Structure 1
Amino acid sequence: MGARERILDAAAALVARSGFEAVNMVAVAREAGVSRQTVYAHFGGRDELLSEAMVRVTHQVLGRLDARIADVPDAAEYVVELIVAVRAECRRHPVLGALLLADRGSPLFDEETFVRTKPAAERLLVPLLVREPRLAARFGDVVEVILRSALSVLLFDSDAVRTDEDLRSFLRWTLLPVLESAYTRG
């Protein structure tokens, strides 16, 4: 493994253990076993380093999500299973868990969250158009509703949706009518 990969892994490990505030170039260099100059040679600053580390984690998670939900044929069930799978990944992966905690310096809680998250949501939701082509006319609206619902589930987990079955039931009750409305109104 090269220095760049070790540095990215070190940044992710620091976030997982201690939150975003713990990440600085010196701590990352120490964790990766490289010099601070090596970290700066690969990354211009802390924000760039964190951004690339989160992109790397996201790509790993996206691969697992794709594998978990690829065979779901129905558009509405795809959304339900996608949100269930995303929550499971957030619970499983310490870096993603750190993203959900405001008191750990998470970048999720700034004003640009939705703007940064939307392209990833669109990428995950494009398969809806294969499952239900009538959604194409309202795809932007569908992405918006699903993304807001998913973020709400992740950020405000509660006893009402604690189990996967509870969450599935909630999502079917709240999201399925929205999706049906989107493709019947076109």
Structure 2
Amino acid sequence: MRSRQKIIDATLELIGSGGFDAASIVAVAGAADVSRQTVYSIFGTREQLISDAVADLVRTVFDEMRDVHPTHPGPAGELVAVIVRGRAVVHAHPVLAVLQGSSGQNPLLDAGMVDRARPVAREMLAPMALRHPELSDRWDDIVDIALAAGLFAVFFESPDRADDDLAAFLMRWIGPAMSLWGTSQRN
């Protein structure tokens, strides 16, 4: 267990200082002071290592993302507040900021990325789910909307756009969808 954390820490340090390309198995093993075989035996592949390292980091910043104060009412306002706060956290953290790189070398943005992100999003949004049990039958949709809007906010939205402006835009999109769920049947 200790080796796993040393490897994760070394991976994140390498990504933060040199991008994804710097986090090779050889470099990570050297930085963690373990053998390459140890890295492979714990993580299997470089892609899994990087995915696990970033997921571990995301879990550590959940407290920052959960401590939001919505400026708009209801569950849509809460979801928008989490997305806007998430963008700020990603832009502020050196390792997470690497995710925004346009180099095309981001191994997290592959075909399985959304499937890996769903459990992390569920965990992050769990407090909201507890506060709004009336939305339990739509929770899969809410998680997918959070991922789509969150990815948009982090990767495609300008970091210069004011948080209030981004929140208002997201509310115009997310608010009506979520308000309909209270009065309509699931398709």
Structure 2 counterpart of 1:119: 119
The 3 A distance-change label for structure 1 pair 58 and 129 is: closer
Q: Is the 8 A contact 2:65 2:86 kept in 1?
A: yes
Paired residues in the alignment total 183
- Cα deviation 1:49-87 (Å, max 9, x = unaligned): 223312321221123323x13x76831221111001110
The 3 A distance-change label for structure 1 pair 30 and 77 is: same
Deviation at 1:115? 1.4
Deviation at 1:110? 1.4
Query: Relative CO higher for 1 or 2, CA cutoff 8 Å, sep ≥ 6?
Result: 2
Q: Show structure 2 runs of 5+ residues with no match.
A: none
Structure 2 counterpart of 1:89: 89
- Map 1:68-147 → 2, pairs under 5 A: 68-69=67-68, 74-103=74-103, 105-147=105-147
Q: Show structure 1 runs of 5+ residues with no match.
A: none
The 3 A distance-change label for structure 1 pair 90 and 184 is: same
Structure 2 counterpart of 1:56: 56
Which protein is richer in helix relative to its size? Answer: 1
Q: Is the 8 A contact 1:4 1:42 kept in 2?
A: yes
Structure 2 counterpart of 1:180: 179
Q: Is the 8 A contact 2:10 2:28 kept in 1?
A: yes
Q: Is the 8 A contact 1:74 1:131 kept in 2?
A: no
**Secondary structure of 2:183's match?**
helix
Q: Is the 8 A contact 2:91 2:97 kept in 1?
A: yes
- Cα deviation 1:107-140 (Å, max 9, x = unaligned): 2321112211122222223333333332222222
Give me the CA root mean square deviation.
Answer: 2.6
Structure 1 counterpart of 2:167: 168
Identity across the alignment (%): 36
Q: Distance in 1 between matches of 2:11 and 2:123?
A: 25
Greater alpha carbon shift after TM alignment, 130-139 vs 83-92? 130-139
**Secondary structure of 1:27's match?**
helix
Structure 1 counterpart of 2:25: 25
**Secondary structure of 1:109's match?**
coil
TM-score computed with the length of structure 1 as normaliser: 0.82
Q: Is the 8 A contact 1:128 1:135 kept in 2?
A: no
Q: Distance in 2 between matches of 1:97 and 1:110?
A: 18
Q: Is the 8 A contact 2:16 2:98 kept in 1?
A: yes
Deviation at 1:9? 1.1
Could you tell me which amino acid in structure 2 is paired with residue 169 of structure 1?
A
